Amino acid sequence: MERSRSWMVQTDCTLFQLLNGKQEAITFNRWMSMITHLGGAISTISTVVILSLFSAGLIQQTAYAAVASLIISHCIVFFLKHIVRRNRPYLVLPSAFVAKKPLKDPSFPSGHTTAIFSVTTPFMILSPLLIMILLPLSFLVGWSRIRLGLHYPSDVLIGAIIGYICGLFSYLFFSSTGAV
């Protein structure tokens, strides 16, 4: 058991070092700093609230599912962060590139990645054509969290899974009630 845990931690650190940024890539790092905010509270909450209030029909109902998904997923993230209490990579790995304003709260799982997947998943289910835009965008937010030194790849992976599952079940719930 300890051997497999050690392998997982080592693999996570190796992947982090491959995906983490380099300070010299200033323009790319600025771009990733903008992308990362798409998974932040202001972007995700304002998007689903605006769509809930100012759209109609299936889009509005899907926005309701996204609101539910965002709330449920963030309750899960809150509890996991305080149970697991994993230090952020820049606190553990001395060679890690880190963004200007690093976060201090626990790393696992990635809240930004969870948020973007929890909001985009219901819309990707509603209209599979949106997958071509929303899925790469969601993955970019996840990568940005690693690139900026704030999360390990496993933080992002689990955040994406939590967001996807919450988005899927919220969509299924709202569609079973006839709302979507």
Grade residue 160 by pLDDT with cuts at 50, 70 and 90.
very high
Tokens representing 78?
């809150």
Residue 10 lies in a domain: no
Domain of 61?
Answer: 26-177
Q: Is residue 140 part of a domain?
A: yes
Residues in the chain: 180
Query: Any idea what the Cα angle at residue 118 is, between residues 145 and 120, rounded to 5°?
Result: 90
Structurally, how many domains does the chain consist of? 1
Has residue 72 been placed in a domain?
yes
Instruction: Report the predicted TM-score, pTM, of the whole model to 2 decimal places.
Output: 0.93
Q: What is the pLDDT of residues 17-40, one digit of tens each?
A: 888 877 667 788 889 989 999 999
- Give first-to-last CA distance, the chain, whole Å: 44
Instruction: Give a yes or no: residue 18 inside a domain.
Output: no
Confirm whether 54 is domain-assigned: yes
